[in-house]
Amino acid sequence: MASPVVQVENFRMAFGAKTVIEDLSFQIDAAQTFGFLGSNGSGKTTTIRALLGIYPPTAGRLLIAGRRFRPGDSKITLGYLPEERGLYKKERVIDTMVYFGRLKGMSAKAAKSWSLAYLERVGLPGKAKLRLDKCSGGEQQKIQLGVTIMNDPELLILDEPTKGFDPVNRRLLLTLIGEQRQRGCTILMVTHQMEESERLCDRVLLLKDGVARAYGTVPQVQEQFGGKSVKVVSERPLPTSPSYQILAANGFETELKLNVSEREALAELAAAAVGMSQFTPVRRSLDSIFVEVYGS
């Protein structure tokens, strides 16, 4: 059996008297996409920094391809998109991308060719000779992702890759990440966007206050938190009731966790005259599980 690409065992991280990660363990196998989920301050970025050797762990083991990560001494190629983006703002876009390509072992010609094709792909064909500080924040973020994936890494670590993006550009970035997944790249994606995780991830871990509250495949996590729910579409908001718990609401589309049978809940909602047009049993969404774990 192949060894996991990423292995975290009994990881603990403390800063002085404050413990921020407590006994965390998980693994990511080759070609898996792993969703590392949690609200801000839950310990996700701290874990990534310890995995990459930026922070020494207080206890436990954090391994990439079977060994502690050291720059230049890894058995696999790695691409890392940090939470704090970092580019040379006074340099031209194409010069910066070629520079990073050279650092990743590409020839200048190959790096330039790849970069120009990528800029065309993400809607920035006229930005190659522009200084980075003349690009918008979203444009810089696209360029940063390009720098991250340009050498076809075997392991891709993305810390909030779609943070700050509008829906159109967010969809584009998810498509690009999906393409990396299809070519067999192992992906660790740090996010609190549940839709992204449900769409892309083979396994997920929900971290709260440095402790794993759920871990497994998406269906396993859904089962752990009750398995099924009911989606109701109505013309008016649903009344509160001891018969159900409102897990998530988007306009007049509501996800419910039932405390009674589906038949009883359906009868109660019909009697409430909320203009119900749909009552459908569904698997619980990760979004509703996130709300349950982390609070509204």
pLDDT of residue 8: 98
Residue 72 pLDDT > 80, yes or no?
A: no
Residue 283's pLDDT band, with cuts at 50, 70 and 90, is confident
| Percent of residues, the chain, with pLDDT higher than 90 | 70
pLDDT of residue 294: 84
Q: What is the mean pLDDT of residues 37-61?
A: 93
Q: Would you call 126 helix, strand, or coil by DSSP? A: coil
- In tens, the pLDDT along 208-233 reads 999 999 999 999 998 888 767 899 99
Q: Give strand ranges (E) for the chain.
A: 6-15, 18-28, 33-37, 59-64, 78-81, 155-159, 186-191, 203-208, 211-217, 228-233, 244-250, 253-258, 278-283
Residue 287's pLDDT band, with cuts at 50, 70 and 90, is confident
pLDDT of residue 1: 63
- In tens, the pLDDT along 196-213 reads 888 889 999 999 999 999
The CB density around residue 17, as the number of other CB atoms within 10 Å, is: 5
Q: Tokens at residue 32, please?
A: 């898996």
pTM of the model: 0.85
- In tens, the pLDDT along 235-250 reads 999 999 999 989 888 8
Instruction: Tell me the Cα Rg of the chain.
Output: 22
The whole-angstrom separation of Cα 272 and Cα 180 is 48
- Quick check: 141 and 160 in contact, CB under 8 A? no
* Residues forming beta bridges with residue 215, ordered by sequence position: 205
Residue 279 pLDDT > 60, yes or no?
A: yes
Residue whose tokens read 């839709």: 195
Q: What is the mean pLDDT of residues 182-193?
A: 92
pLDDT of residue 233: 95
Residue 160 pLDDT > 70, yes or no?
A: yes
Residue 85 pLDDT > 80, yes or no?
A: no
Look at phi and psi of residue 167 and say left if phi exceeds 0, alpha if psi is from -120 to 50, else beta: alpha
- In tens, the pLDDT along 86-108 reads 788 999 999 999 999 999 999 99
Residue 75's pLDDT band, with cuts at 50, 70 and 90, is confident
Q: What is the mean pLDDT of residues 122-135?
A: 95
- Quick check: 289 and 216 in contact, CB under 8 A? no
Residue 296's pLDDT band, with cuts at 50, 70 and 90, is low
Residue 264 pLDDT > 90, yes or no?
A: yes
| Percent of residues, the chain, with pLDDT higher than 70 | 99
Residue 190's pLDDT band, with cuts at 50, 70 and 90, is very high
Q: What is the mean pLDDT of residues 165-193?
A: 90
pLDDT of residue 239: 93
